[in-house]
Amino acid sequence: MTASMSSSSGLELLLSSLQNAGDVESTLNILNVLDELLSAGTDRRIHYMISKGGSEALLTALVNTGRSFSPNYTLLLPLLHLLAKVGHRDRRIGVKAEDAGAALLTLNLLRHNVKHARRAAACLWVIQVFSSSVSTANLIGANHGLDVIYRLIPQYTTKHLHAIKAAIDAFAALLCTKANVCSVVSKGYVSGLLRLYEDWHAKATQHAAMAICHSLLRCLHKVTHSAAGRQAFVSQGGIRLLYVTTQTCLLSKGLESLVEPSVQLMRKCLPKTPLPLTSDRSAYTFLMPGRPHAAPDMDVEPDENSVESDDEEAEDNKEADFDDDLETDLSKLRHRPDPDRPKELLPQYNRLCPELSHDFQDLDLSSEPEESSTASSSSSSDEEAALLNGLRFHSSRRGGASTSPSGSPSETDPEGHTPAAAQLEARDFHSHSSILSTKVREARDEAPLGQRGEDEDDEEEDADKSHHRTMIDRLLERHGACIPHHEPKLYRAAAAKTKSIPGFSILAFPDFWGHLPPPGHESMAPRKPNIQRQKVFEDVQRFLTTDGIINQVVFDLEDSSLQCPSDSLRFFSKFECGNLRKAVQVRRYEYDLILNADANSSQHTQWFYFEVSNMVADVPYRFNVINCEKSNSQFNYGMQPVLYSVREALEGRPHWVRNGTEICYFRNHFCPARGRRRTTFYTLTFAITFKHNEDVCYLAYHYPYTYSALKAHLKVLQKSVDPAKVFFQQQVLCGTLAGNPCPVVTITACPASRSWIDMHQLRNRPYVMLTGRVHPGESNASWVMKGTLEFLCSSDPVAQSLREAFVFKLIPMLNPDGVVNGTNRCDLNSEDLNRQWCKPDPVLSPTIYHTKGLLYYLNSVGRTPLVFCDYHGHSRKKNVFLYGCSVKETLWQSGSAVNTVGLKEDPGYRTIPKNLDRLAPAFSFNSCNYLVEKSRSATARVVVWREMGVLRSYTLESTHNGCDQGIYKGLQMGTRELQEMGVKFCHSLLSVTKDVKGLYSQRLISHIDLDHNVLDHKSHNCFEDDEPPCVEEIEYSADCPALTGADLDSDINGNTASADEEEEGDDGCREVKHRQGSVGQSQ
């Protein structure tokens, strides 16, 4: 304590003496002591000195010494050096200097010492430090400081490099203000800086000269902060100059360090290019019930609160902001809000709980399962028809009918289907003529002659339809793969009833034909070194030269009459789940792709799914998706898009496979067509080399899973179960805005008999509710749900035990309309449905309203679900993980002052994640969190936890990429692994049943896949789960890396160590010659 007080008083004594020292020797001694003291320690010593008034003492000493008519530079030089070192660590040094009168004094000293390199350098470092304050930088600029300093920057020389670098660094520091940047631009200094860089770059061979090139680039970065600066940079040939110099740098290892700041500067200054669209709004508009216009005006700036958060539980980049988002109000965390509707409305949901009223009289008819199953299916169809008939009438009255892209309502036929949908029977595929006709000829050659004759006897129109159906039937018979739980004809029938905004009349071949996982695992794609830089250079070339640039629109979703050149790829996306708005051929083998915004919106472009044909084999085609919106993507970390080849499928390999090379994802120079502010677009670029000439292929962001596929899948499952053992009931939760039925499925075990005890056990089984696909672009959620559904309907002993233990309520697709119309985030109302749970609108968000109503009903009859889980996909993290809700963990993480010791909380919310960590190789326990954020207060997970009191309320997040842990480490997730995750989630439910011992019998454990590797699977540390920074900058930096304190100290020490000499007159003459050679002299 005494030593500390002594040290403190000693420093204060030195600082006091410095301000009041009368003789030069004493002042020099104090400065030397302070310099030695600060140099020997860390920055902590300097900050301590600042806290004791060190900056003020040095400024006072500077003013006292510098004001004299003939300043003593023997004293001033060490004083300026020390002030620069200390001031660089003092955030308020500029303001302090201005108050002390030291800023203009230092500028005046510089003016008097432009011929003395060491003195000028010392003044320049101090000016650089003072310019950390905007007001001080403006003060120096207003007093012609920029002009003085600019004239000190010569063309290439080998003399006085410390002073030259100090001048450039001070000039860059002054450009922190808008006023100074405007002054520099107006005086034409941008052109001068470019010529200086060109000269120094051409002749730089030593390290010091390289440092000057870096400093000049820093100046250019600062100048181009403003639009005027960027315009001046481009007009003066800055992009061309940097492009040429970087090509030189790439050939010389010693110059490589200049490449990255040059590339970033070019990216920043490429002129903003509007997307080649007539409007930013989606090509699909839908007349909303009760609204006079087809769509809201989305060309205005969206509400900041409604901006999409990257994923359901997106990670905030700033820790402080993340902590601020945590809910710290204990009353909000623990208080259960009042229901959003009167209790009188809840009995309507009784129809969705048939297991509570079904009398199971058909148990006696178990010897005739087919008839029973058929009756059940028919009942479901009758209910669906009745509901939808009412819904169509309701929708038409309220203006909610499907609309064409122009917004006009589509007509319906007597059956209630759109004419376009009715054509599905006659015209299923779009661009498959070359492949299909070949295969059909093969099939027809083997067909009985009598069969071919029957077709020829039909009338002409019917003959075409019959021929097409026969073609498909023969193709299926000859080439169709045996895909479990998939029937192409059933899919076609389901798709014919699906309602879409444009009235799709084409089926995508992969959805109809089906998909089998490829036989092996697919590794993550290695990232080619500097691939992003290479792509940026190619984009810069497009700006600099028109040689080889085609720039022709070859596909436009809104212009069906567009003629495609014979030698270009052909694109198509007007089918269910499809998303591609426009394709532009840039070069012979390069295409820019523009995605369609979510319906009735101008945002949320990320999901894509389109057909491509007319390709040449073994040639790499580059695809650039240029209007992505998320700020980062797993495409930067080994993820690939998926590809499906029709030719491969017809040859017995119907696989969606990961494909693509040279993949990267980065910010681009495109902007909205209508100038929507603060919108940033990113490019996903990848190259595809097709295997076959004239193939027809499909490319997608992730494995597509359509609404029609769900409907067909549920019908197949209903046929597959034994109705005497499995109670499987498919019902309609409600109709969507477009009139599509939203299915809800009940799965449980039939009672062993109709005895009172068996029926009582059935009626008292706890509930598990699972939902999914609220975000259409998260198709992986549907594949996980598919795995869950198939497992729960299987004869697996674990599935049988789960059916006997629980009643499962599954709503596999909460956003059918979004899925059908290829949106990424929203429903047709342009709202994120997973932000509507607090008070959903029964008309605009019917699926959320009625799902919540069903939960309210179960709660009101004492059947609150034991587990609720909403299946999602995550585009920015690897592995599979859960988000839950915990009061204590939220308060702990937020640093709340609330004492959590007395808070009681059931830790059971961690049971399922812990079990999944042991059961599922793709699951990462350490990626899970249980925090309640304010921005997530209206999500399903939080609302069900808070309002329904469901302890185990989760969001299950599945990666679009793959895993970085366990047995799947380094592998991308396929549909096999996603479906496996759905099975493993079911297995984890065994841990939350009351009769745990009975369920964990040896008989069941033997059926759970717990091999040694998986049992030993441990998630790695949660801090390693988040991706490290991308090896290349996704954003283009606003600035070159700032000078650090160590850099400045090194420059100052170099100046101090140089020969202690007063420059003679001849040195001064040489300095003048250098200045006369400077571009600045021309001003």
pLDDT, residue 1004, reads 59
pLDDT, residue 988, reads 96
Total residue count of the chain as it appears in this document: 1083
pLDDT, residue 1042, reads 65
pLDDT, residue 405, reads 39
Active site residues: 957
pLDDT, residue 415, reads 37
Cβ within 8 Å of residue 646, ≥6 positions away? 432, 435, 509, 513, 695, 696, 697
pLDDT, residue 380, reads 47
For residues 444 and 459, give the distance between their C-alpha atoms in angstroms, rounded to a whole number: 20
For residues 620 and 685, give the distance between their C-alpha atoms in angstroms, rounded to a whole number: 12
Number of C-beta neighbours around residue 13 at 10 A: 11
3-state secondary structure of 695: coil
Q: What letter does residue 962 receive in the DSSP assignment?
A: B
Token pair of 790, please? Answer: 């198939």
Distance of CA 149 to the CA centre of its chain: 44
pLDDT, residue 608, reads 98
Segments in the chain below pLDDT 50: 1-7, 294-320, 365-427, 437, 440-461, 995-1000, 1011-1017, 1019-1025, 1059-1083
CA angle 615–620–625, rounded 5-degree value: 85
pLDDT, residue 4, reads 44
If we measure between CA atoms, which residue out of 803, 1020, 990, 1016 comes closest to residue 911?
990
pLDDT, residue 1021, reads 42
Phi and psi based region of residue 822 (left: phi greater than 0; alpha: psi -120 to 50; beta: remaining):
left
For residues 616 and 712, give the distance between their C-alpha atoms in angstroms, rounded to a whole number: 35
pLDDT, residue 716, reads 97
pLDDT, residue 1076, reads 37
Contact criterion met (CB below 8 Å) for 205 and 158:
no
For residues 735 and 845, give the distance between their C-alpha atoms in angstroms, rounded to a whole number: 10
